[in-house]
C-alpha cells in the first residue's frame, strides 16, 4: 500500500466512525456550547415556562408538541384501582394509571426535562410505582416513585432517546400489577416531530387471568396460578372485550393516513399484530428509529411497542388481531377500524362481508346473554330469555355451518330447521354440541357424512340457550334445554354420539 493510499483509507475510516457514532439523535441536536458536556439527546437546558403535559385516555393520542426547543414538561399521573367490565357481564378489579387500561398516553419531545408526579388515590389498597422504558436511570423511575395510597411522589428525568416506550408498574409482585392493567405508552417525539397524518390512535394489548372461564359472568378475581402458567383467560386490546368494536370501533375515511401507536403490556404474551385487509406502509418496529416498509404482521414483545402507518383505500371493517389467532376469536384480541367512503373497485372489487371474520363480535349484542345469565342466577330464567340469548350466540357460532336460517347447506351441513333427527330426541343434540359428531347421519331423508367439531368453548348456559333457541326457531316444534341437562351430559363423558340410528 502506498503512503498516499494509506492516508485515504484512514480518513475514510474516521469519516465512517463519525457518521455511525453520531447516529440519528445527535444529527438533529443543536450545536454544543463550548465547555458544556454533550451527549446524544441532550438538546440543552429547558426553555420557557414549564408546560403541563396533555394526557389522553385510549384510544386517543395527545396532539404533537410542535415545539422546536426543549422544555420542562410536568406530567401528573394518578393510580386508581377500580372495577370495570372486561367482557359483557364480566367485571374485573383493574389497577390503572389514570383510570383506564392501558393508562394515559404521555407525549413529550426528545431533550425535554420531564418532572413526573405519581399520585396514588386514597381509595387504593396497594402501593404502586412506575418504570418508564423511556427513562435513562436505575429502574426507569421505579425506585423514586414508590407511592403508598393517598400519597404522591416526584422525580425528574431527561428524555434522551426518541421513540415509543412502554411504562408500567414495577411494585412486587410485579407480574400481578402488570396483569391488572398497570401499563401505558410514552412517546418521545424526535426533535423534528413526526410526519403529519389524518388520525393517530392508541391501542395496547394485554393478557388477563381470571379464576372463571372466558366470558363467565360476574366479578372475576385475578388467578395467580394461570398467570404463572401463562395461560390467559383473555387477550385484549385496550383492556376489555369490545373496547374497540361496534360503536367504539376506531373510525377513518378512505384515503386517509393512519398512525397507530401499538403497545404490548403483557405480562406474558408477545403479540403478532396484524390488521386484516391492510398492509402497513411503514412500521417503526420495536418502537425504535428504524423503519420497515410493506409489513403484514409485526411482532410486539411484552413490554414493547411499534408505530404502524397505513393508508386507507377501500371502505369496510378492518379487523385488528393478534394473529396467534385463537386469541382473537376465543380470548377477545380483536378490534375494528371502520373505514367509510366510496368504493374503489380498481383496488378491491368485492362487497364487504363482515361475518366472515367477525361472527358475533362485530356489534357484540351480548346484552341478551347477560340478561339470561343474571336471571338464571336469581332463578327467574324464562324460555324467552333463553331464546333471546341463544339467538345471539347461534349467530356467529353455529350459523357459520348450519346458516342463520337453519337450512344448512345441501350435502354438507344438515338442516336444524324442521330436522327430523333433532325432533326425534331433542336432548341428543346436547351430546352433538358437547362432543361433536361424525359419521353418516340421515336428516329429512338426506344423508350427510361429515364432521362437526365439539363446541368446547361454550359453557353449559350457552349450550342450553342455543339449543332452546334452535328448538323454537324456524317453525320448529318448541321445547327447552336446561343448563342442568347440559351439565349431566358433560358428566357422562360418553364417546361421540355416532350417527347410526
Positions that interact with Cu ion (CB under 5 A): 128, 169, 171, 177, 182
Cell of 213: 372461564
Q: In the range 443-472, which residues lie near ligand HEC by CB under 6 A?
A: 443, 448-453, 455, 466-467, 470
Q: How many CB atoms lie within 10 A of CB 184?
A: 29
Closest to ligand HEC by CB, 134 or 414: 414
DSSP-H helix ranges across 331-378:
355-358, 367-377
In sign, the C-alpha dihedral spanning 450, 457, 355, 419 is positive
Q: What's the CA gap between 493 and 345, in Å, rounded? A: 53
Residue (of 64, 55, 130, 134) closest to 99 by Cα position: 55
Q: In the range 377-406, which residues lie near ligand HEC by CB under 6 A?
A: 397-398, 400-402
**CB of 74 closer than 8 Å to CB of 51:** yes
Q: Which of 65, 124, 419, 459 binds ligand HEC (CB under 6 A)?
A: 419
DSSP three-state, residue 421: helix
270 lies in the binding site for ligand HEC (CB under 6 A): no
135 binds, among Cu ion, ligand HEC, none (CB under 5 to 8 A by kind): none
429 binds, among Cu ion, ligand HEC, none (CB under 5 to 8 A by kind): ligand HEC
Please state the closest distance from residue 211 (CB atom) to Cu ion, in A. Answer: 20
Give backbone dihedrals phi and psi of 153, rounded to 5 degrees, phi first. -130, 165
Residue whose C-alpha cell is 398497570: 182
Please state the closest distance from residue 157 (CB atom) to Cu ion, in A. Answer: 19
Residue (of 219, 227, 223) closest to 211 by Cα position: 223
Calculate the CA 139 to chain-centre distance. 27
Hey, what long-range contacts does 385-389 have (CB within 8 A, 24 or more apart)?
A: 386/464, 386/465, 386/468, 386/469, 386/480, 387/465, 387/468, 387/469, 387/472, 387/473, 388/469, 389/461, 389/462, 389/465, 389/469
Closest to ligand HEC by CB, 243 or 432: 432
CB burial string 374-409: b at 16+ within 10 A, e below: eebeeeebeeebbbbbbbbbbbbbbbeebeeebebe
Closest to Cu ion by CB, 99 or 277: 99
Q: What's the CA gap between 416 and 471, in Å, rounded? A: 9
Please state the closest distance from residue 362 (CB atom) to ligand HEC, in A. Answer: 18
252 binds, among ligand HEC, Cu ion, none (CB under 5 to 8 A by kind): none
- Specify the DSSP class assigned to residue 273: E
Please state the closest distance from residue 402 (CB atom) to ligand HEC, in A. Answer: 6
182 binds, among ligand HEC, Cu ion, none (CB under 5 to 8 A by kind): Cu ion
Closest to ligand HEC by CB, 39 or 326: 326
Q: Which of 89, 263, 415, 431 binds ligand HEC (CB under 6 A)?
A: 415
Closest to ligand HEC by CB, 173 or 453: 453
Contact letters for ligand HEC, residues 343-382 (x by CB under 6 A):
----------------------------------------
332 binds, among Cu ion, ligand HEC, none (CB under 5 to 8 A by kind): none
422 lies in the binding site for ligand HEC (CB under 6 A): yes
414 binds, among ligand HEC, Cu ion, none (CB under 5 to 8 A by kind): ligand HEC
Closest to Cu ion by CB, 118 or 452: 118
In sign, the C-alpha dihedral spanning 247, 253, 254, 260 is negative
452 binds, among Cu ion, ligand HEC, none (CB under 5 to 8 A by kind): ligand HEC
265 binds, among ligand HEC, Cu ion, none (CB under 5 to 8 A by kind): none
Please state the closest distance from residue 458 (CB atom) to ligand HEC, in A. Answer: 6
**Interface with ligand HEC by CB under 6 A: which range of 85-93, 336-344, 348-356, 428-436?**
428-436
410 lies in the binding site for ligand HEC (CB under 6 A): no
**Interface with ligand HEC by CB under 6 A: which range of 116-124, 166-174, 375-383, 418-426?**
418-426
481 lies in the binding site for ligand HEC (CB under 6 A): no
400 binds, among ligand HEC, Cu ion, none (CB under 5 to 8 A by kind): ligand HEC
**CB of 339 closer than 8 Å to CB of 312:** yes
Pairing, β 113-120 against β 72-87 = parallel
**CB of 91 closer than 8 Å to CB of 219:** yes
Site residues (vs ligand HEC, CB under 6 A) = 397-398, 400-402, 413-416, 419, 421-422, 429, 432-433, 437-439, 441, 443, 448-453, 455, 466-467, 470, 499
Amino acid at each position: 500500500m502506498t503512503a498516499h493510499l494509506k492516508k485515504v483509507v484512514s480518513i475514510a475510516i474516521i469519516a465512517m466512525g463519525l457518521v455511525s457514532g453520531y447516529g440519528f439523535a445527535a444529527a438533529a441536536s443543536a450545536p454544543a456550547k463550548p465547555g458544556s458536556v454533550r451527549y446524544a439527546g441532550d438538546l440543552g437546558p429547558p426553555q420557557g415556562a414549564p408546560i403541563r403535559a396533555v394526557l389522553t385516555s385510549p384510544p386517543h393520542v395527545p396532539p404533537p408538541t410542535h415545539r422546536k426547543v426543549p422544555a420542562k414538561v410536568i406530567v401528573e399521573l394518578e393510580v386508581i384501582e377500580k372495577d370495570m367490565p372486561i367482557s359483557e357481564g364480566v367485571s374485573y378489579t383493574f389497577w390503572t394509571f389514570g383510570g383506564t387500561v392501558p393508562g394515559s398516553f404521555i407525549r413529550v419531545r426528545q431533550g425535554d426535562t420531564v418532572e413526573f408526579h405519581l399520585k396514588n388515590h386514597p381509595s387504593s389498597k396497594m402501593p404502586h410505582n412506575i418504570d418508564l422504558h423511556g427513562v435513562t436511570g436505575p429502574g426507569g423511575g421505579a425506585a423514586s416513585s414508590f407511592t403508598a395510597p393517598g400519597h404522591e411522589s416526584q422525580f425528574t428525568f431527561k428524555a434522551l432517546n426518541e421513540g415509543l416506550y412502554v411504562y408500567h408498574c414495577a411494585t412486587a409482585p410485579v407480574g400481578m400489577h402488570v396483569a391488572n392493567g398497570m401499563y401505558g405508552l410514552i412517546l418521545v417525539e424526535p426533535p423534528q416531530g413526526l410526519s403529519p397524518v389524518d388520525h393517530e390512535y392508541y391501542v395496547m394489548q394485554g393478557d388477563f387471568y381470571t379464576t372463571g372461564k372466558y366470558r363467565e359472568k360476574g366479578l372475576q378475581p385475578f388467578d395467580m396460578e394461570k398467570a404463572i402458567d401463562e395461560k390467559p383467560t383473555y387477550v385484549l386490546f385496550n383492556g376489555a372485550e369490545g373496547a374497540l368494536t361496534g360503536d367504539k370501533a376506531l373510525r377513518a375515511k378512505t384515503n386517509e393516513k393512519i398512525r397507530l401507536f401499538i403497545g404490548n403490556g403483557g405480562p406474558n404474551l408477545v403479540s403478532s399484530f396484524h390488521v386484516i385487509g391492510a398492509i402497513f406502509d411503514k412500521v417503526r418496529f420495536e418502537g425504535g428509529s428504524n423503519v420497515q416498509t410493506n409489513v403484514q404482521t409485526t411482532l410486539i414483545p411484552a413490554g414493547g411497542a411499534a408505530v404502524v402507518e397505513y393508508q386507507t383505500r377501500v371502505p369496510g371493517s378492518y379487523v385488528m388481531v393478534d394473529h396467534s389467532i385463537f386469541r382473537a376469536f376465543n380470548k377477545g384480541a380483536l378490534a375494528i377500524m371502520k373505514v367509510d367512503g366510496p368504493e374503489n373497485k380498481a383496488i378491491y372489487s368485492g362487497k364487504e362481508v363482515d361475518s366472515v371474520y367477525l361472527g358475533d363480535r362485530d356489534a357484540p349484542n351480548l346484552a341478551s346473554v347477560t340478561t339470561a345469565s343474571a336471571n338464571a342466577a336469581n332463578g327467574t330464567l324464562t324460555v324467552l330469555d333463553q331464546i333471546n340469548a341463544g339467538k345471539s350466540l347461534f349467530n356467529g357460532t353455529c350459523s357459520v355451518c348450519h346458516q342463520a336460517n337453519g337450512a344448512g347447506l345441501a350435502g354438507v351441513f344438515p338442516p336444524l330447521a324442521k330436522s327430523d333427527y333433532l325432533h326425534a330426541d331433542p336432548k341428543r343434540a346436547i351430546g352433538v354440541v358437547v362432543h361433536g359428531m361424525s359419521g353418516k347421519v340421515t336428516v329429512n331423508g338426506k344423508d350427510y357424512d361429515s364432521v362437526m367439531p365439539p363446541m368446547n368453548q361454550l359453557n353449559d348456559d350457552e349450550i342450553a340457550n342455543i339449543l332452546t333457541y334452535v328448538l323454537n326457531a324456524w317453525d320448529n316444534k318448541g321445547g327447552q334445554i336446561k343448563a342442568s341437562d347440559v351439565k349431566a351430559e358433560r358428566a357422562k363423558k360418553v364417546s361421540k354420539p355416532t350417527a347410526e340410528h
